[in-house]
Structure 1
Amino acid sequence: MQTTLSEDARQLPRAKEAESILRSCVHCGFCNATCPTYQLLGDELDGPRGRIYLIKQVLEGNEVTRKTQEHLDRCLSCRNCETTCPSGVDYHNLLDIGRAVVDAAVARPLGQRLMREGLRSVLPNPALFKGLVNSAQVFRALLPNSLQVKLPRTVYPAKPRPTTRHTRQMLMLEGCVQPSLSPNTNAAAARVLDRLGISVTTNREAGCCGAVDYHLDAQAAGLERARRNIDAWWPSIESGAEAIVQTASGCGAFIKEYGNLLRTDPVYADKAKRVSALAKDLVEVLRGEPLDKLGVHSDQRLAFHCPCTLQHAQKLGGAVEAILTNLGFNLTSVPDSHLCCGSAGTYSLTQPELSRQLRDNKLNALESDHPDVIVTANIGCQTHLNGAGRTPVRHWIELIEAALP
């Protein structure tokens, strides 16, 4: 696409990157065919091709409006369009660049600002979030339905974690909301890895991955969280930690971006690149291990929801399904498995109507072959789908751990 950046845009730190991405788009429209919001709304500006054009206009110096911001806000950042793009357009990075410019130019309404600042204050703070969740559970019946559906229907307590006893050691990111909403997930992962001769350790200084801030108008704050995590992990990396394991694919996708996002930072560029190389989704670790040693045998009927951050961002579609099938689980068929469930980080709170439509469509697909349980690989998807009160939704590693002899 022919592009001529304005003088102001040329001063942006990522100007050359934005121009390169824009020029790679040939406007073929294949992306719209797999865009969830375009399918729902049928508006060219609510599809990737239209949003790319809006960002192009902004970077060429045209007027930035609230409508521009609304169309960019409606994007789920699911990256489905990247999977289907024949030209390899790096859409999500262009979107990050465009959103930052638009948000700097267009003041949000007060309600939106308060919500976004509230989310940025609460979600990355595990202690505060846990206190709020526990209080909300006590007064659940008094809460509006919009809040009730965000609380877990059933909380599975964390089983005891094994002691650190193996030569092979990996770091594990605990996450922000997962310890409160699904406390057994990381414990189950630690117990399975222990059976395979791998000990996992956590560093309490490593907190939120930074995605919440980065995607809620605070990119600098998100990158600062990334730097703090790198500092927290670095001693263990120097001591030989094999990997940094994530059980939430959303966190993993963002940590794998550290190297790119901090590539111009003279202090952190090399370290960030190393951390991104060590970042592994749990399925990446398990698929390289002799899982027959686990002795798992189950014929439980499962439907697997593959999060966008796993299949489109990390390119690991089919990996969890292969492990579950090899272990004997009976996986049902899921139509349109490439489409987003509508969780998308905080999207279910900032765009509730679109999010609910996508959730219900996804559940209809997941339930079409009558599974006993739905399993997934990201706490956001798990909580969002479970909030409908239909088929129970859990993390896939918990089903494997429960089937251990």
Structure 2
Amino acid sequence: MQTTLSEQSRQLPRAAEAEKILRTCVHCGFCNATCPTYQLLGDELDGPRGRIYLIKQVLEGAPATANTQLHLDRCLSCRNCETTCPSGVDYHNLLDIGRAVVDQAVPRPASQRLLREGLRALAPNPNLFKSLLRIGTTFRPWLARSVEAKLPRDLPATGQRPAPRHARRVLMLEGCVQPGLSPNTNAAAARVLDRLGISVIAVPEAGCCGALDYHLDAQPKGLDRARHNIDAWWPYLVNGAEAIVQTASGCGAFIQDYGHLLQDDPAYAAKARRVSALALDLVQVLAELPLERICAASDQRIAVHCPCTLQHAQKLGGAVEAVLTRLGFNLTTVPDGHLCCGSAGTYSLTQPELARQLRDNRLNALESGHPQLIVTANIGCQSHLASAGRTPVRHWIELLDQSLTE
């Protein structure tokens, strides 16, 4: 794609990167075929190709408008288009660059600013988030349906988390909202890893991965969180911790981008590359271990939802299904498994109508094989799918934890 950035755009920190990405696009439109929002809305500007054109126009000097911002906001950042693209267009980084430019030029309405600032203040604070969840659960009958649906139902008992006792050690990102919405997930992961001879080391100084701030109009704050986490993990990595394990694929995808996002920071570039290289989704760790020795599969019918951040960002589509199949679990067939459920971080709150449509479409596909349980690998997807109040949804590691033999 021929591109001529304006003089003003050439001063941007990532101008050269944006220009390079734009020039890789051959505007073939294959991306639209797998874009969830294009499928729903049928508008060229709500597909990747249209959004690329919008970003290109702004970077070439056209004024950014509220309409430009709307179409960029509607993008889920699911990265399905990247999996489809024959030219390897690095769409998600171009989108981040474009959004930052447009958000700088187009002030948001007060209601949107309040929502985004509230989410940035609340979600990265696990203790505050858990406190508000408890209050919400107490007053559940009086809450609006849209709010009440977000509260977790029938949480399983968390159980005991093993103390570190093995020579092999990994770090685990505890997450922001997961300790409140699904507190058993990380505990279950620690128990399964412990049975396989790997201890999970707690690093309380590490906090939010930074994705929430980064994707809600606060990119510098998101990068500051990345630097904070690198500082928190570094002493443990130096002393032999072999990986940073995530049970939330959304967090994992962002941590694996630290090396790219901080490549021009002389103080953090090398450390960020190292952290990104050691950031592993839980399935990458367990896929290499003898799970058959400790797990006994049930005949329960299971549907697997593969999060976009696992299959399109981390390129691990089918990995969870492979582990569960290897262990003998009864998996149902799920059509259109490449499509997004509509969670997409905070998308279900900032774009609720589109998110509900995508959720219901995904649930219809997941439930087409009549499963008794749906499992996934990301807390956002888990919470969003469960909010419909249909088939129970859990993290897949809880299934393995329940199948542990004595």
Normalised by the length of structure 2, the TM-score is: 0.99
Give the conservation status (yes or no) of the 8 Å contact 1:298–1:327: no
User: Comparing 295-304 with 226-235, which one deviates more in the overlay?
Assistant: 295-304
Q: What's the CA shift string for 1:109-142, capped at 9, x where partnerless?
A: 0000000000000000001000000000000000
Q: What's the CA shift string for 1:150-203, capped at 9, x where partnerless?
A: 001111221101111000000001000000100000000000000110001111
Runs of 4+ with >3 A deviation: none
User: Comparing 230-239 with 149-158, which one deviates more in the overlay?
Assistant: 149-158
Cα distance in 1 for partners of 2:65, 2:169 equals: 51
Q: Hey, what does 1:394 align to over in structure 2?
A: 394
Cα distance in 1 for partners of 2:397, 2:55 equals: 40
Q: Residue 140 of structure 1 aligns to which amino acid in structure 2?
A: R
Unaligned runs of 5+ in 2: none
Q: Hey, what does 2:131 align to over in structure 1?
A: 131
2:199 aligns to what SS in structure 1? strand
Give the conservation status (yes or no) of the 8 Å contact 1:213–1:222: yes
Q: Hey, what does 2:317 align to over in structure 1?
A: 317
Q: What's the CA shift string for 1:316-357, capped at 9, x where partnerless?
A: 000000000111110000010000000000000000000000
Cα distance in 2 for partners of 1:156, 1:379 equals: 15
Q: How does 1:18-97 map to 2 (within 5 A)?
A: 18-97=18-97
Q: Residue 316 of structure 2 aligns to which amino acid in structure 1?
A: L
2:289 aligns to what SS in structure 1? coil
Q: What's the CA shift string for 1:31-82, capped at 9, x where partnerless?
A: 0000000000000000000000000000000011000000000000000000
1:140 and 2:140 aligned: yes
Deviation of 1:92 (Å): 0.1
1:354 and 2:354 aligned: yes
Question: How many residues are matched?
Answer: 405
Give the conservation status (yes or no) of the 8 Å contact 2:133–2:151: yes
Cα distance in 1 for partners of 2:29, 2:180 equals: 41
Q: Hey, what does 2:240 align to over in structure 1?
A: 240
Normalised by the length of structure 1, the TM-score is: 0.99
1:199 aligns to what SS in structure 2? strand
Cα distance in 2 for partners of 1:292, 1:231 equals: 37
Q: Hey, what does 1:205 align to over in structure 2?
A: 205
Q: Residue 15 of structure 1 aligns to which amino acid in structure 2?
A: A
Q: Hey, what does 1:336 align to over in structure 2?
A: 336
Q: Hey, what does 1:280 align to over in structure 2?
A: 280
Cα distance in 1 for partners of 2:301, 2:379 equals: 21
2:171 aligns to what SS in structure 1? strand
Cα distance in 2 for partners of 1:63, 1:11 equals: 17
1:7 aligns to what SS in structure 2? coil
1:103 and 2:88 aligned: no
Cα distance in 2 for partners of 1:358, 1:103 equals: 25
Cα distance in 2 for partners of 1:271, 1:157 equals: 37
2:169 aligns to what SS in structure 1? strand
Q: Residue 285 of structure 1 aligns to which amino acid in structure 2?
A: V
Q: Hey, what does 2:308 align to over in structure 1?
A: 308
Q: Residue 304 of structure 2 aligns to which amino acid in structure 1?
A: F
Cα distance in 2 for partners of 1:380, 1:344 equals: 7
Q: Residue 226 of structure 1 aligns to which amino acid in structure 2?
A: A
Cα distance in 2 for partners of 1:67, 1:136 equals: 35
Q: Residue 210 of structure 1 aligns to which amino acid in structure 2?
A: G
1:6 aligns to what SS in structure 2? coil
Q: Residue 273 of structure 1 aligns to which amino acid in structure 2?
A: R
Q: Residue 178 of structure 1 aligns to which amino acid in structure 2?
A: Q
Q: How does 1:167-186 map to 2 (within 5 A)?
A: 167-186=167-186
1:302 aligns to what SS in structure 2? strand
Going from structure 1 to structure 2, the CA distance change for 1:295 and 1:360 (only over 3 Å counts) comes to closer
Unaligned runs of 5+ in 1: none
Q: Residue 351 of structure 2 aligns to which amino acid in structure 1?
A: Q
Q: Residue 311 of structure 1 aligns to which amino acid in structure 2?
A: Q
Deviation of 1:271 (Å): 0.3
Cα distance in 1 for partners of 2:300, 2:189 equals: 19
Give the conservation status (yes or no) of the 8 Å contact 2:161–2:190: yes
Percent identity reads 76
1:368 aligns to what SS in structure 2? helix
Q: Hey, what does 1:292 align to over in structure 2?
A: 292
Q: How does 1:208-219 map to 2 (within 5 A)?
A: 208-219=208-219
1:380 and 2:380 aligned: yes
1:343 aligns to what SS in structure 2? coil
1:7 and 2:16 aligned: no
Deviation of 1:297 (Å): 2.6
Deviation of 1:292 (Å): 1.8
Give the conservation status (yes or no) of the 8 Å contact 1:65–1:106: yes
Deviation of 1:295 (Å): 3.6
